[in-house]
Structure 1
Amino acid sequence: MTQHADPRTTAASRDRDPATLTARELVARYRDGTLSPVDVHDAVQAVIDRREPVLNAFWVRDATASRAQAQASARRWRSGEALGPLDGVPVTLKENLARRGVPMPAGTAAVDPVVPDDDAPVTARLLEAGAVVLGSTVMPDWGMLSSGVSSRHGVTRSPWDPAWTTGGSSSGAGAAAAGGYGPVHVGTDIGGSIRLPGTWLGLATLKPTGGRVPLAAPYLGRVAGPMARTVGDLGVLLSVIARPDARDWTSLPPAGDADRVVRPRPPRGLRVAVHLDAGCGAPVDPQVRAVVERAAAVFADGGARVEEIPPFATQDLLDDLDLFWRVRSWNDVRSLPPQRRAAAHPFVAQWALGGADLTGVRVLQAYQSIGELAAQTTAATSGFDLVLSPVAPVAAFPAEQPMPFTEPGREMAHIAFTAPYNMSGQPAATVNAGFTGDGRPVGVQLAGRRFADADVLDAAAWFEEQRPDDAVPRWPDAAG
């Protein structure tokens, strides 16, 4: 799903800081010889140097190694041997996506980092495509916080306002995307970890169909996916990382339209469901609801048949998903010696304790509830081309806070709109659609039928073009 350059876009990019250009614009400039991957690399590194002391997005960053990659790309472009739509384009990878020889601490101070011998499938595809890997971005402890809070890394902060959260667990990837650390970034998502930073940072993101992007260690509901400032760049990145890999036994065959352009197509005649009440979790903040309702009106004005659908999840199903994850995390925590366990973030350690000493029967019941959640999600949405909903019920919260809701029993109250699509395997994108009164971004989620990643991206790209002007992010100045 690549996006070919529009000559008008290329011309418009001439006077802009190279660090602010999209992946599509960069490749167009590389092709016509008016910009070098080395120039872009150095411009992005200057942004990182200025902003990283506050944002704290990177776990590992090696500017010398990435500059060498940019120099190799420049030679390929000069000789007409570019490797594809990301050759010379800066990219980051979340720290739980293996890079050979780069330690992987899972975001926590409680473990000795694993040093992988091989690249993850995503990493391998990016390197094969000539992308310039700037480094590995941070995440919270074991990826089980929806914030930028980590016992190992400290606090990762929003480029919009350092007092606000990035969301998580793809916290560093989100901060990098919103902060101008290059155009494309890869996160992972098991219940919202790509899309939550999407809504709280104003980003375009995609949780792909399950199996679309191969993983070295596939797990129920877990995906890797693209994060960027524009929907078109999501398609560029997805076209590279969605290639099959034998290490992932859930990996899908190549999509027949994997390399096609993301097309902003009007939704005329599409059936669009509006999902405003998840049926569980926290109630939707009125400001968030208003943003989603306005987005629904944009689709209706574009010719879509829009109708509101009732809730399809229940609190019992959400609680059982939470319980299943607690058991999984407790299995990680319980194996640690006491001094190591004490080094984990206390919120995660306490939450995981809720999964201790459960019977096998109870764990199986929780697992079966996940299947029921997937079935109900599929049944409720199968008659629609798109489902438009909030991403999260609330806007960004304080950066130091580990979760939107910290009361016992409400730890997962914010994922009722996102997690169902992890379990059903359906693709779901986010696009910024407005702001709260105090300037916090608010995204909308666009979910589609399984395997319809391209259709979801087309709809998201159309909305990105048609959204009200006051919903378009004016990205924080890179020198701020």
Structure 2
Amino acid sequence: MHRDAVSTAEGYADGTLTPPEVVAEIQAVIDEREPELNALWVRDDVGGTLEQARASARRWEERRPLSPLDGVTVTLKENVARAGVPMSMGCAGVEPVVPQTDSPVARRCREAGLVVLGSTVMPDWGMLSSGVSSRHGITRSPLNPAWTTGGSSSGAGAAAAGGYGPLHVGTDIGGSIRLPGTWLGLATLKPSAGRIPLHAPYLGRAAGPMARTARDCALLMGVLAGPDPVDWTSLPAQEVAWDDLDLEVEGLRVALWTEAGYGVEPEPEIVATVEDAALRLERAGARVERIGPWLTQDQLDGVDRFWQARSWADYARLAPEQQARVLPYIVEWVSRARDLSGTEVMDAYHAFAQVQSRTTASWAAAGDPDVLLSPVAPGVAFPAEQPMPYPEDGRGLWHINFAMPWNMTGQPAGTADAGRTADGRPIGVQVVGRPFDDLGTLRVMHALAAS
């Protein structure tokens, strides 16, 4: 039985559920499924999690819970720092770093009384959209172990879809929360840049919730969102009614984007699913306007080239024996940056600004819509052993064409589970909100799931 966070928290509040029984149920699921799924890098001591659950139960009995989520379980991606817990970055070539302090995300989970079950796996340096890792091996989809989880929040996605509790935190720099979302049938949110504070802010990077429902994502946002001095990019404090997901569809202005214009164009079945989602909103009173491409292959190639250079710097610092342990696909990818000049690296970096300016201009030209719907990725889940959906001919990142622009503008972007292929593979719809409108994004995600 996969309990959601909302009903679990309500059960704790009214006494129909207790944290120890729920945590024990989830631990039993992990015992059964983890040998096949391979979602966890560090599994926290089971006895320790049960003791935390008992302490939560006492707080609920005494009517002094630390938060509405006291006693609800969560997992954290391994690059979300936890004091004393090694961070390997999914790469066998690096010596894991052991943080001395919690990241803001980990600290807020602890202060809210959530029970952390463990740290979830990721592929090498987070630079693959799959569950393939030189350190962890292959992480597999709970829906079908032959399918990929997506990545780089591969373990978080597998844990969410596999019943390892209702709440999970991933990170996203070009689609790493949303790609597992679409390929595993999840609700996920890459929040606005700065909405959830990071311990290591970086252009485009965000941490966000991964769950089975938009309502659960919203509940976790209530714990994680808000400024923190650790993150100099964090947004100012804002009162957000995260529990209010009611949406007035009448008059909602929706942009529909199904032709990327660069990278790989989406498969017809995916386009049809996105168009059907837009049609459902239109029938409920929304105004839907189709928009065309605004980015070109040059911008995506520049982003790719800069990330190659960044990862080449990490790889080049390793000793030869460490380099030999890095995933061969990653070695081949980063090595393309070996001979780049400083001028070429800076030219590649300028691609990020081009993506930002062109995407912002396109949004304005579309009339500043309330929301945009698009595919999350051009294709559906591919074989679990495959590092990327299109690994040949330099097309490694051609599948992030719909996801990556919103990391650069910092706009909130989530996934809503919207359909299945003939062989049962999930198809998600990407829901992009106006700048800083995380709640509006979640409301549309919730409405699509309910319609």
Shared fold, TM over 0.5: yes
Query: Could you tell me how far 1:255 is from its partner in structure 2?
Result: 2.0
What is the 5 A alignment of 1:338-349? 338-349=320-331
In the comparison of the two structures, how many residue pairs are matched? 447
Aligned to 1:109: 92
Q: 1:421 and 2:406 equivalent?
A: yes
> Conserved in 2, the CA contact under 8 Å of 1:381 and 1:387?
no
Take 1:22 and 1:86, find their aligned partners in 2: how far apart are those partners? 11
- 2:82 aligned with 1:84: no
Corresponding residue for residue 360 of structure 2: 378
How far off its partner does 1:328 sit? 0.6
| Residue in 1 that maps onto 2:39 | 57
1:463 paired residue number: 448
Q: Does 1:152 align with 2:143?
A: no
Q: Which runs of 5+ in 2 are unaligned?
A: none
Matched position secondary structure for 2:117: strand
Structure 2 residue 265 is the aligned partner of structure 1 residue 283: yes
The secondary structure found in structure 1 opposite 2:386 is: coil
TM-score by length of 2: 0.98
Which of 416, 425, 438 is matched with 1:431 structurally? 416
Q: Is the 8 A contact 2:221 2:242 kept in 1?
A: no
Report the CA distance between 1:264 and its aligned residue. Answer: 3.0
Q: In structure 1, the residue corresponding to 2:399 is in which secondary structure? A: coil
Matching residue within 217, 236, 239 for 1:256 = 239
Alignment of 1:231-242 (within 5 A): 231-242=214-225
Mapped contact 1:262–1:457 kept (Cα < 8 A): no
The answer (yes or no) to whether the contact 1:264–1:460 under 8 Å persists in 2 is no
Structure 1 counterpart of 2:314, from 322, 332, 336: 332
Query: Aligned-pair distance for 1:260?
Result: 3.6
| Structure 1 SS opposite 2:417 | strand
* Shift of residue 94, structure 1, vs aligned partner: 0.1
Residue number among 111, 116, 124 corresponding to 1:133 in the alignment = 116
Partner of 1:99: 82
**Quick check: 1:194–1:225 contact (8 Å CA) kept in 2?**
yes
Instruction: Check if 1:34 corresponds to 2:16.
Output: yes
Deviations along 1:199-228, one digit per CA (max 9) or x if unpaired, are 000000000000111001100000000000
Q: How far 1:460 moved relative to its partner?
A: 1.0
Distance of 1:268 and 1:309 partners within structure 2: 20
1:181-196 equivalent positions in 2, closer than 5 A: 181-196=164-179
Query: What are the superposed Cα offsets for residues 145-192 of structure 1, whole Å, 9 maximum, x if unpaired?
Result: 000000000000001100000000000000000001000100000000
Q: What letter matches 1:400 in structure 2?
A: E
1:99–1:116 contact (8 Å) kept in structure 2: yes
Shift of 1:408: 3.2
Match of 2:434 among 449, 456, 460: 449
Report the Cα offset of residue 374 of structure 1. Answer: 0.9
**How far does residue 356 in structure 1 lie from its aligned partner after superposition?**
1.7
The answer to which of 259-268 and 418-427 deviates more is 259-268
Q: What percent of counterpart residues are identical?
A: 57
In 2, Cα distance between the equivalents of 1:84 and 1:129?
Answer: 5
Q: Deviations over 1:24-68 (max 9, x none)?
A: 111111111111101000000011111111100000112122112
Partners of 1:450 and 1:359 in 2: CA distance: 35
| Aligned-residue offset at 1:299 | 1.1
Contact 2:94 2:322 in 1 (8 A): yes
CA-based RMSD:
0.9
Query: Which runs of structure 1 show a deviation greater than 2 angstroms over 4 or more consecutive aligned residues?
Result: none
1:46 aligned counterpart, secondary structure: helix
Of the three residues 332, 353, 361, the one matched with 1:350 is 332
Structure 1: how far apart are the matches of 2:100 and 2:88?
Answer: 15
Residues 78-136 of structure 1, C-alpha deviations (whole Å, 9 max, x = no match): 11110112110010000000111011000010011001101111000000000000000
TM-score, length-normalised on structure 1?
0.92
Q: Which moved more, 1:135-144 or 1:262-271?
A: 262-271
Kept in 2: contact 1:125–1:243 (CA 8 A)? no
Pick the aligned partner of 2:375 from 386, 390, 401.
390
Per the alignment, residue 405 of structure 1 pairs with 390
Task: Output the CA distance in 2 between the equivalents of 1:435 and 1:266.
Answer: 27
Question: Could you say which residue in structure 1 is the equivalent of 2:425?
Answer: 440
Secondary structure class of the residue paired with 1:233: helix
Q: What is the distance in 1 between the residues matched to 2:238 and 2:190?
A: 16
The answer to whether the 8 A contact 1:266-1:302 is kept is no
Q: Is the 8 A contact 1:273 1:306 kept in 2?
A: yes
Does the CA contact (< 8 Å) of 1:166 and 1:175 recur in 2?
A: yes
Cross-structure match for 1:294: 276
Distance 1:376 1:425 in 2: 14
Q: Deviations over 1:401-452 (max 9, x none)?
A: 0000111310001000000000010000101100111100000001011100
3-state secondary structure, aligned to 2:398: coil
1:176 — aligned with what?
159
Extract unaligned runs of 5+ from structure 1.
1-16, 467-480
